[in-house]
Amino acid sequence: MRASLPQANAPCWCGSGRKFKRCHKGAYEPLRPGTVSPQRTVPPGIRAPAYAATGRVERWDEPRVKPPEVIARMREAGRAAAEVLAEVGAAVAPGITTDELDALTHEACIARGGYPSPLNYRGFPKSVCTSVNEVICHGIPDDRALLDGDIVNLDVTIFLGGVHGDTNATFPVGVIDPESRRLLRVTKECLERGIAAVRPGRPISDIGRAIEDHATAAGFGVVHDFVGHGLGEQFHTDLQIPHYFEPSARTVMEPGMVFTVEPMISVGDARVRMWNDGWTAVTADGSRTAQYEHTLLVTDDGVEVLTAPPAS
């Protein structure tokens, strides 16, 4: 069920003293597609993935266990992705449009000598995914201004040195309601539980079990339709990381494997409905959803987070 909201004439939960309908009610109106600006260009001197020109993604059998040379490059890409996410996340505020956040992401990637990986991946028109409120993932930046009380996920991936670094986080916009604050906290904890379950010699299913146990104990749902993935020289490889317990996910984690863990947690119904744009996935009942993501390297004795936030 969708979380209940105050009556329109009741005092707003934020403590402003105003009626809910005059204060934060707008943050709970169903999201609607806005106007998408033209695709941004990348300077010719920036190394781009093969799909950048055509939008067509050709897959190949990339090793799941990366050699040291590739891992070294992935550390650099992961560090850059984390820097871009922190930079763009700092700009999140009421009144900014998701298209403006896309422009910031685009320029931040280029400033680091990288290509924004989402741009033209299977035709995706923008340089970052911006998923607001009930949008689970793959939201397309547009001219909608963020409202006080919204939440927004920024999914940043950069192609740098011939490899991808992938990370995301969900940010509060201004003052958010208590249940949204709890959703963000629990979702981040789910990511932390998933990371803690990464151990060489253990099956991938351990990750999903840890995430699902924590989310359901908090009364939240886990989205099953999207999973974590392997990456390296390709944006997505064949390795899949469910965020729920899947007994068939018996692949054993080995040192040198690199993949993402990126749980999507919902307040209500975790089933998915797709917009007509073919990208934007929203919760079936319109309830809010949050996500956090890191790129991880399995080590000899545990895990290394390649997209750890930059030191403040």
Assess contact for 116 and 150: CB atoms under 8 A: no
Q: Which amino acid is at 269?
A: D
Which string of b and e fits 116-140 if b means at least 16 CB within 10 Å?
Answer: bbbbbbeebbbbbbbbbbbbbbbbb
Q: How far from the centroid of its chain's Cα atoms is residue 280's Cα?
A: 13
From first to last of its 312 residues, what are the pLDDT tens digits of the chain?
A: 344 566 778 887 777 788 776 777 777 789 999 999 999 999 999 999 999 999 999 999 999 999 999 999 999 999 999 999 999 999 999 999 999 999 999 999 999 999 999 999 999 999 999 999 999 999 999 999 999 999 999 999 999 999 999 999 999 999 999 999 999 999 999 999 999 999 999 999 999 999 999 999 999 999 999 999 999 999 999 999 999 999 999 999 999 999 999 999 999 999 999 999 999 999 999 999 999 999 999 999 999 999 999 886
Instruction: State whether residue 256 is helix, strand or coil.
Output: coil
C-alpha–C-alpha distance, residues 140 and 280, integer Å: 7
Using DSSP, how many helices (H) and how many strands (E) does the chain show?
4, 15
Per-domain boundaries in the chain: 62-305
Angle at 233 between CA 84 and CA 39, to 5 degrees: 50
Find how far residue 242's CA is from the centre of its chain.
Answer: 15
| CATH tag, 62-305 | 3.90.230.10
